[in-house]
Structure 1
Amino acid sequence: MIKWPWKEQETTRNDDWPWDDALAIPLLVNLTEQEQARLIALAERFLQQKRLVALQGLELDPLKSARIALLFCLPILELGIEWLDGFHEVLIYPAPFVVDDEWEDDIGLVHNQRVVQSGQSWQQGPIILNWLDIQDSFDASGFNLIIHEVAHKLDMRNGDRASGIPAIPLRDIAGWEHDLHAAMNNIQDEVDLVGETACSIDAYAATDPAECFAVLSEYYFSAPELFAPRFPALWQRFSQFYRQNPLQRLRDNREDENNRSSNVH
């Protein structure tokens, strides 16, 4: 009998997901109670519709699965679960994985090489992740593997391949392209000045428009104070697309904390 590697361990159905514990991560702390409730409802539907498949001995308990589902649904909180149509499985390795990469050079020669990947998204296939980087996606640092791959999926809804332009009105495409390329050029200027490792925003964003959209989607949700002041025009376009405002959430939460502190005697 053939044993398919992606059938190693699937998540079991669980009607009693530990949502309170799953929500207790820095990335989600700024959501209002109403937003948390709607995010949980989306995450429950996500877990009903998708299979989380653990590979190479990784074990997925209910808490891990619940947090993965919450992060998948954060970008589509105001868009709807149907925006995650087009795939049925999420494959999860314990750590970054090696894949065979094929690319064509400027003169048409095809090259093959083995490369280490953190995640992958396919047009009509699964999303592939790794648990090591998923854990690093719980904070508010600007890095979020799940949001990155979800952004690629949202991008692909606008065509056969990721282009950096999600499904937005035709009248907005020229402005989106202009602001996205301006951000890419700005990030590349910083890379040229200080180097990739010292760049304040992940230098991968400067490689092409699709990666710029995915990387800046990470910052949009997990580091809005870095994104918004640096690229205000693009920030507004992201806010119109995602229909959220993580920066305002952050400010509101800080104001609430300050008010609570001032009321302590």
Structure 2
Amino acid sequence: MGLFTAFRRKRLAGRGFPPPWLEIIERNVPFYRMLPPADRQELLGHVQVFLAEKHFEGCGGAEITDEVRVTVAALACILLLHRRTDYYPLLSSIVIYPDEYVGERRRWDEAGVITEGPEPRVGESWEQGTVVLSWKDVLLDAGAPDDAFNVVFHEFAHQLDQEDGITDNDGFLPGLPEGDRWRQVFEGEYERLIAEDEAGRWTLLDPYGAESPAEFFAVATETFFEMPGEMRRQHPELYGALSLYYRQDPASWGW
């Protein structure tokens, strides 16, 4: 990040926050009310930088309004609080559908055979600089901040993963604080989720996280922010690893 970019971002973040945008956040993002006052102020600054740098595009009849842009930006920027950030540098555009949409799905079985086909989706994160979201699900998930499901957290966790090198197809890389130590935590928790899913047992973490290390990190991020107290009780080492990575302790927020 160059000096000019840093100066421009600092100036953007320091501007007065538009009152209509604040009304949108207070209405659509309950997390905002839970944050400590200093974090709220930091979040509003991040939102202004994010919206100045990212392009939104509507598909399937979706209209890109300030409500769409500000809501998505606020949720995405919660993941950036307290961190030295380059504002999702691999991301250039956010594509919004009005509702669930159909995307292509690839699956590899144990023999390495690939099957492809259409699949209903509510979100995607592409390595080519795009996040795709269902607006209906963005609102539903934002309005239920304690159910461990948040499509914005999930897809933007993928963006952070791609940026920091946390996972690849084979496992976890040392892209987390304390490298090998936290890689061991993630590998152990990932294997635990796979085993519990195969045994048909209920898990706090969404079983979709057993699909791959990348999906595990995204699912764990959702649970960390949406059910932090329960994660801290049931998965204390994983909570500690994520707390160190995100530099946040959501279990201490005003739930």
Aligned counterparts of 2:87 and 2:221: Cα–Cα separation in 1: 15
Name the CA shift for 1:205/1:199 in 2 (closer, same or farther; >3 Å): same
Name the CA shift for 1:135/1:231 in 2 (closer, same or farther; >3 Å): same
Structure 2 counterpart of 1:185, which letter?
A: E
For each residue in 1:41-100, what CA deviation from the matched residue of structure 2 results, as whole angstroms up to 9, or x when unmatched? 100110100012121111233223211110010001112440411111000111222122
2:215 is aligned, of 211, 233, 238, to: 211
Whether the 8 Å CA contact 1:165–1:176 is kept in 2: the answer is no
Paired position in structure 1 for 2:163: 157
Q: Does the alignment pair 1:47 with 2:55?
A: no
Deviates most, 24-33 or 133-142: 24-33
Superposed counterparts of 1:1-265, under 5 Å: 17-24=20-27, 25-138=29-142, 139-140=144-145, 141-159=147-165, 162=168, 164-165=172-173, 167-169=175-177, 172-194=178-200, 198-249=202-253, 253=254
Whether the 8 Å CA contact 1:73–1:81 is kept in 2: the answer is no
Whether the 8 Å CA contact 1:142–1:222 is kept in 2: the answer is yes
Which structure has the larger Rg over C-alpha atoms? 1
Name the CA shift for 1:226/1:191 in 2 (closer, same or farther; >3 Å): same
Unmatched runs of 5 consecutive residues or more in structure 1: 1-13, 255-265
Whether the 8 Å CA contact 1:89–1:127 is kept in 2: the answer is yes
Aligned counterparts of 1:203 and 1:110: Cα–Cα separation in 2: 21
Deviates most, 26-35 or 158-167: 158-167
Structure 1 counterpart of 2:23, which letter?
A: D
Query: TM-score, length-normalised on structure 1?
Result: 0.79
Name the CA shift for 1:31/1:160 in 2 (closer, same or farther; >3 Å): closer
Cα distance, 1:192 vs structure 2: 4.1
Aligned counterparts of 2:180 and 2:117: Cα–Cα separation in 1: 36
User: CA-atom RMSD, angstroms?
Assistant: 2.5
Paired position in structure 2 for 1:263: none
Cα distance, 1:168 vs structure 2: 2.8
For each residue in 1:194-216, what CA deviation from the matched residue of structure 2 results, as whole angstroms up to 9, or x when unmatched? 45xx5433111222221111101
Paired position in structure 1 for 2:6: none
SS of residue paired to 2:176: coil
Name the CA shift for 1:159/1:247 in 2 (closer, same or farther; >3 Å): closer
Aligned counterparts of 1:174 and 1:55: Cα–Cα separation in 2: 42
Paired position in structure 2 for 1:8: none
Cα distance, 1:165 vs structure 2: 4.7
Name the CA shift for 1:246/1:153 in 2 (closer, same or farther; >3 Å): same
Aligned counterparts of 1:47 and 1:166: Cα–Cα separation in 2: 31
Cα distance, 1:17 vs structure 2: 4.3
For each residue in 1:124-153, what CA deviation from the matched residue of structure 2 results, as whole angstroms up to 9, or x when unmatched? 321111112111221221111111111111
Structure 1 counterpart of 2:163, which letter?
A: R
SS of residue paired to 2:103: strand
Unmatched runs of 5 consecutive residues or more in structure 2: 1-16
Cα distance, 1:115 vs structure 2: 1.7
Whether the 8 Å CA contact 1:165–1:210 is kept in 2: the answer is no
Cα distance, 1:176 vs structure 2: 1.8
* Number of residue equivalences: 234
Whether the 8 Å CA contact 1:55–1:94 is kept in 2: the answer is yes
Cα distance, 1:189 vs structure 2: 4.1
What percent of counterpart residues are identical?
Answer: 25
Cα distance, 1:223 vs structure 2: 1.2
